[in-house]
A and B are shown apart, each in its own frame.
Chain A
Amino acid sequence: MTDRHGKPRGLRRLMNLRIGAALTGMWCVVALLSRFWTPADPTGMNIAQRLQPPGVGGVLGTDQIGRDIASVIMSGAWTSLGIAGLATCLGGAVGIGLGLYAAGMGKRTERMIMTVLGVLFAFPPVLSAILLGAILGPGALTAVLAIGVFMVPVFARITRSAAAQIWTREYIAAAFMAGKTRLRISMEHVLPNIAGQLVVQVTLQMGLAILAEAGLSYLGMGVAPPTPSWGRMLADSQTYLSSAPHLAVVPGLAIALAVLGLNLLGDGLRDLADPRKGGAG
């Protein structure tokens, strides 16, 4: 059974949400668990046992210096989710704040903020991130900043347009009458009403952030060794492709499953909030 907009009712509508929540939850558990327990030391090298295929040296094999890949992946989840999460927090907090402010403060402020954000939006993200990496030096902070900064205009735009719609509602006028300030109205009436849309966006942006972190680490702009990182695992694996393809396949799959989980979760949440809208990107 499907409804008018092609969204199946019941089971499949919730499939997105369920699979997404399960995958995302799994990675969160894995990331947290890695702080207390991994099958082996994720930084412990064992050169004699290097490049073992999955099943032989540990569940997922060993890497080029004999570390247990399963353990590295687990710790890498902490790094990837951590950096992606922090970047999304940074981009979300600043972007949502600016968006709310722009929507609440009238045309002139709005235009100014959006022009400045337009400048930021115009920067090529990958190259600018590399440039930031050159200025600040590679590391976790650089990755968080480089990824977070480019989320600011995205969050600001979405927040502003969503908030602008709320500002036209009757109850806003009523709140004005009651003598509430624009700031209070933004926080008490506007934000709660657009929170659903923002949560969806946070989930989707976090998926993109994981991809971005992988790309930056691939270019050597991510966390420093020995802190495990999925992107650096991919970069390191490249020259072992033919002799030990699992070195590339495993982190690639980890990235794909984490991003997939977040995307499905985002879509599912959107369906839940607004069943009429289809799953358009």
Chain B
Amino acid sequence: MAAFKRIAGRVVVNGIALLLASVVIFALVKAAPGDPAQIMLGTSAAPDTLAALRVQLGLDQPLIWQYLGWLQGIVSGDMGQSYTYDVPVSGLVASRAAVTLPLAALASTGAVMLAVPLGVWAAARPGGGADIAATVLAQMGIAVPNFWIAIVLILTVSLGLGYFPAGGFPGWQSGWVSALQALILPAISLGIPQAAVLTRVTRAAVLDLMHEDFIRTARAKGLSLRQALWRHAVPNALLPVVTMLGLQIPFLISGAVLVENVFNLPGIGTLAYQALAQRDLIVVQNVILLFAALVLVMNVLTDTLAVMLDPRLRGRG
């Protein structure tokens, strides 16, 4: 009961936070200078034409009605019509998510595949050559901007070696191979700083476990250090790694805008960026709200996980 109450409490708190966020987002978006109708019609549009378009877009309504209308739409699953494309925002977002989500998944998977072995390898002999190499690599990975990695990868791998497209996305319908190819370099750019952080987390977590009794026991049973680490330390060290990853994923997705920009990928980041430039405000506000919701949902999930794993709370009620 206590556990349930606590989770319910978290849901309520985060729900309120989301509502607050929607107010802030709406206010910010409306504060951006520039008239969407004027931007759509260009410099030679007549005043009556502009007025007609504003009515059509609902921009003549009082702000409070516009806000409530937006909220009501979201509750009933309708995010509204994009001003510029004149198609439902939900469809636009879904088609762009089909690029950004696999990109983020690829980047995270790659980061884990790189970081966990590297972190364990470094922790196996602290202060050794491998440790120093891994630490230096991790420090460099964190210090370099991901869009710069992207630029350098295009120059060297795509244009220099001719592997992988240097930008653009052929779409999933053109086959998963060519679609994946288009995502490899962006995923590497996005994943390197991620991998650097995870390497450090893994190394620290494994180091903390190294001297636990069960590792000593395993060693005493005749396992090599490496075997002992992989069979016993790593599974235990994965929890902090996964937690870190979970907290980072929303930011990985929303932070992909720079890398998407360099690689010209039609992802959610580019959608929001271009929509803002064209003052397709309805798209901007929905995308930002969606990202905020993602973070808050992740909050609830990690809290729930913590509650479930907490024996004091689990035991009672």
Residue numbers of A with Cβ under 8 A of B are 2, 4-8, 12, 111, 115-116, 118-119, 121-128, 130-132, 134-135, 207, 211, 214-215, 218-219, 234, 238, 241-242, 245, 248, 252, 255-257, 259-260, 263-264, 278-281
Contacts and interface: CB of A to CB of B under 8 A. Distances in A.
Given A6-B123, A124-B292, A242-B159, A134 B255 contact: no
Contacts of B139: 260, 263-264
A177 B17 CA distance: 38
B21 A134 contact: no
Contact of A248 (B32, B142, B151, B251): B151
Interface residues of B, number: 66
A12 B136 CA distance: 13
A134 B32 contact: yes
Q: For the complex, would chain A's binding face be called helix, strand, loop or mixed by DSSP majority? A: helix
Contact of B299 (A118, A124, A125): A118
Interface in B139-167: 139-140, 142-145, 147-148, 151-152, 154-155, 159
B207 A122 contact: no
Interface in B243-279: 244, 250-251, 254-255, 257-258, 261, 269, 272-273, 276
Nearest to B124: A6
A176 to B, nearest CB: 28
Most chain A beta-carbon contacts within 10 A, residue among B14, B21, B147: B147
Contacts of A264: 139
Interface string B285-302: 001100111011001000
Contacts of B32: 131, 134-135
A128 B143 CA distance: 22
B211 interface: yes
29 contacts: A6-B127, A6-B210, A8-B127, A115-B16, A118-B17, A118-B296, A123-B21, A123-B291, A124-B292, A125-B254, A126-B258, A127-B257, A127-B272, A130-B257, A131-B276, A134-B33, A134-B34, A135-B28, A211-B143, A219-B258, A234-B147, A245-B155, A252-B152, A255-B143, A260-B139, A260-B140, A264-B139, A279-B135, A280-B200
Contacts of B296: 118, 122
B99 to A, nearest CB: 16
A280 B127 contact: no
A248 B148 contact: yes
Given A6-B127, A119-B20, A119-B21, A127 B143 contact: no
B140 A115 contact: no
Interface of B: 13-14, 16-18, 20-21, 24-25, 28-29, 31-34, 123, 126-127, 131, 135, 139-140, 142-145, 147-148, 151-152, 154-155, 159, 196-198, 200-201, 203-205, 207-208, 210-211, 244, 250-251, 254-255, 257-258, 261, 269, 272-273, 276, 284, 287-288, 291-293, 295-296, 299
Contacts of A131: 28-29, 32, 276, 284, 288
Contacts of A278: 203-204, 207-208
Contacts of B203: 278-280
Contacts of A115: 13, 16-17
Contact of A234 (B151, B250, B255, B257): B151
A245 B20 CA distance: 46
B276 A130 contact: yes
A223 to B, nearest CB: 17
Contact of A130 (B200, B273, B293): B273
B212 to A, nearest CB: 12
A265 B200 CA distance: 16
